[in-house]
């Protein structure tokens, strides 16, 4: 498959670069710092769910830093080669433009998966000897969900990179998307939550105030990730709101959990397709 060939070359080029080694080192240091910050007192242990559900991992590390890294690493995936002229050489081989776009998504997502996996696994193995009561299935499942989130932002960045004609536009788009989805989204929801939580909301909307808030949370890939990952860590994923295996009550219904998975899948597919639509008609 041509997609596989493009993805393999993109991955190999990425893993040979110095930024991948730097990212791996940064993730090991950050996760190690988190394990140290949330460690219990002497003689006590804490479960994997306490680590993964902490604000340090969920908000400071996963949903803030990983989207930024994914966007920065992937924003020039297509447009960078387009400006340098190497894209013409790539397309001279038996690769279609669709092969290039989706191959770049797979290659960059695979490259980013390396530092994320190393960064999570090494400190956990060390901490498991000490205070961490490691639950391998929960921990590995959380890493996989984190890789889905990073892949979604890679797909967004590559789609944008395929749809624009210059690195300057690609950088502006990546920065704008990051600020929209990470810091600004919460700022937008806060006044709406206050307004709709007190019974407000226009009557002409075909959705209730609580439904609108839930939709806003699902649209953001980090919001969908928090729903899925939180339920998974608490042992309540697909439990229909029943008490999870870890003793926590599932805060979301089955339909919301399925919608969150569907939204993450949409972010993996729709941005590259939109970028490909613009890329197909572009004059290189």
| Per-residue confidence (pLDDT) for residue 41, from 0 to 100 | 62
Strand runs labelled E in the chain? 46-47, 132-133
pLDDT tens per residue, range 92-105: 888 899 999 999 99
Q: What CA–CA distance (Å, rounded) separates 24 from 197?
A: 42
Cα separation, 154 vs 149, in Å, equals 9
Q: Is pLDDT at 48 greater than 80 in this prediction?
A: no
Quick one: the chain helix, strand, coil %, rounded to 5? Answer: 75, 0, 20
5 half-sphere exposure, CB direction, 13 A CA radius: 10
| 143 — pLDDT class (breaks 50, 70, 90) | very high
pLDDT score at 261: 95
Task: Give the pLDDT band (50/70/90) at residue 236.
Answer: confident
CA diameter of the chain:
66
- Strand, helix or coil for residue 31: helix
pLDDT at 77 over 50: yes
Q: Check pLDDT > 50 for residue 247.
A: no
Whole-prediction pTM: 0.88
List, in sequence order, every residue forming a beta bridge with 132; answer none if it has no partner.
46
Q: Which residue has the higher pLDDT, 50 or 169?
A: 169
Beta bridge partners of 249: 243
Question: Is residue 243 predicted with pLDDT exceeding 90?
Answer: no
Computed on alpha carbons and rounded to an integer, the radius of gyration of the chain in Å comes to 20
pLDDT above 70: percentage of residues in the chain: 86
């Amino acid at each position: 498959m041509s997609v596989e060939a493009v993805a393999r070359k993109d991955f190999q080029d990425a893993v040979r670069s110095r930024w991948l080694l730097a990212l791996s080192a940064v993730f090991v240091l950050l996760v190690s710092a988190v394990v140290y910050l949330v460690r219990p007192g002497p003689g006590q242990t804490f479960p994997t769910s306490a680590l993964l559900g902490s604000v340090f991992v969920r908000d400071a590390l996963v949903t803030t830093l990983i989207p930024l890294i994914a966007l920065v690493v992937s924003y020039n995936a297509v447009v960078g080669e387009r400006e340098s002229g190497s894209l013409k050489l790539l397309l001279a081989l038996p690769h279609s433009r669709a092969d290039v776009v989706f191959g770049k998504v797979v290659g960059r997502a695979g490259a980013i998966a390396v530092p994320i996996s190393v960064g999570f696994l090494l400190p956990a193995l060390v901490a498991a000897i000490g205070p961490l009561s490691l639950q391998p299935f929960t921990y590995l499942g959380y890493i996989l969900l984190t890789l889905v989130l990073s892949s979604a932002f890679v797909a967004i960045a590559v789609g944008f990179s395929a749809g624009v004609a210059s690195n300057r536009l690609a950088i502006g788009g990546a920065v704008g998307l990051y600020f929209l989805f990470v810091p600004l989204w919460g700022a937008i929801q806060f006044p709406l939550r206050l307004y709709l939580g007190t019974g407000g909301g226009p009557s002409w909307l075909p959705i209730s105030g609580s439904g609108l808030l839930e939709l806003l949370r699902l649209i953001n890939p980090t919001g969908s990730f928090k729903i899925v990952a939180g339920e998974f860590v608490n042992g309540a994923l697909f439990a229909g709101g029943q008490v999870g295996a870890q003793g926590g009550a599932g805060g979301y219904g089955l339909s919301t959990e399925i919608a969150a998975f569907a939204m993450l899948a949409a972010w993996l597919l729709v941005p590259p397709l939109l970028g490909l639509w613009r890329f197909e008609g572009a004059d290189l």
